[in-house]
Amino acid sequence: MANTVIGSSIVIDGEISGGEDLVIQGTVKGKISLKESLIVAQSGVVEADIATQNIEVAGQVTGNIAASDRVELKSDCRVVGDIKAPRILIADGASFKGNVDMEVGKGR
Amino acid sequence: MSTVIGDSILISGNLEGDEDLTIRGRVEGSIRLTRTLIVEASGIVKADVTVKDAVISGVVVGNVTASDSVQLTAEGRMVGDISAPRVIIVDGASFRGRVDMGDLESDRASAERPAQKAAARPVQKAPPPRPPARPPVRDGDERRIGQNVAVNQSAGAPARPPSPPAAPPLPPILAGAKRRVLVKKGKR
């Protein structure tokens, strides 16, 4: 289990930063910067700009995502915003609106 | 699954919720919960806190308002004011600030306590009015109050150590204040 979990009834308005995995089941507004993986669970709602290494989205994200490694949009997720990462996966059933930048020629 | 803020996480901003929250990292801003806040030994909170219960083993700087209880454990360090009907400060804890337990009788009678507990409790007479404008309680005084008042406890909380057999009489300035600051001795 990841160290940090934001439970489903929690609302955070502000900035989150850290060096460990983070699971969001609740609501976060503001800004997130992590050195590890971010998981937005199905019940999770994020309205924030995100900078992280890996991100897995099964819930809702509104905001720009910048990942140094990988972005995965799972089916049933809803993402609005720009994504910048060397590896981007979008599963069947995911809904996404925004720009994708894979920084071609870098990170492969 | 309840919420955990891990060691290396920093949150600055407002945090609200309806579930238990455990903080091992750092939170700055404000925290509002309808359940229990646990600040573990590695946790640092610089925030105004409004919760039902708080258990503080780490560092808290800010005011804590609890609708039920605030507990400072032996590792707990806190600077700020506490406002709660039940305040428990364990031996070894460090605390600077005010404690406000409200108007005890009206708090006890209100719906915050289960009805059967209230019924089981022997009816207490209303305490004489408190002396106005007492200077803020210092750390040392806090312990002294706790030792003296522990004798007066009725069977409110289950996990309470037996009262010390021979406590000195209340000093005159404290005679009117039936405060429920407990000091548990000899934890290790």
**CB–CB contact B9 A26 (8 Å):** no
Q: At a CB cut-off of 8 Å and minimum separation 6, what does B169 contact? A: B148
Q: At a CB cut-off of 8 Å and minimum separation 6, what does B27 contact? A: B5, B10, B11, B12, B15, B43, B44, B45, B46, B47
ipTM of the modeled complex: 0.82
Residue from A1, A6, A35 to probe the interface with B (highest B Cβ count within 10 Å): A6
Q: Is the pLDDT of residue B22 over 60?
A: yes
Do the Cβ atoms of B85 and B100 come closer than 8 Å? no
Gyration radius from chain B CA atoms: 17
pLDDT in tens, A26-80: 999 999 999 999 999 999 999 999 999 999 999 999 999 999 999 999 999 999 9
Residues of A with CB under 8 A from a CB of B: 2-22, 25-26, 30
**Among A7, A16, A21, whose Cβ lies nearest the Cβ of B17?**
A7
Give the nearest chain A residue to B20 (CA atoms): A7
Residue from B1, B2, B7, B9 to probe the interface with A (highest A Cβ count within 10 Å): B9
Give the nearest chain B residue to A20 (CA atoms): B8
Tokens of A37: 């993986």
pLDDT tier at A1, thresholds 50, 70, 90: very low
Do the Cβ atoms of A79 and A38 come closer than 8 Å? no
**Among A3, A14, A20, whose Cβ lies nearest the Cβ of B13?**
A14
Pick the closest to residue A28 from A42, A4, A3, A45 (CA basis): A45
Q: For position B146, what pLDDT does the model report?
A: 43
- All structural domains of chain A with their residue ranges: 4-101
In Å, how far is B38's CA from the nearest CA of chain A? 14
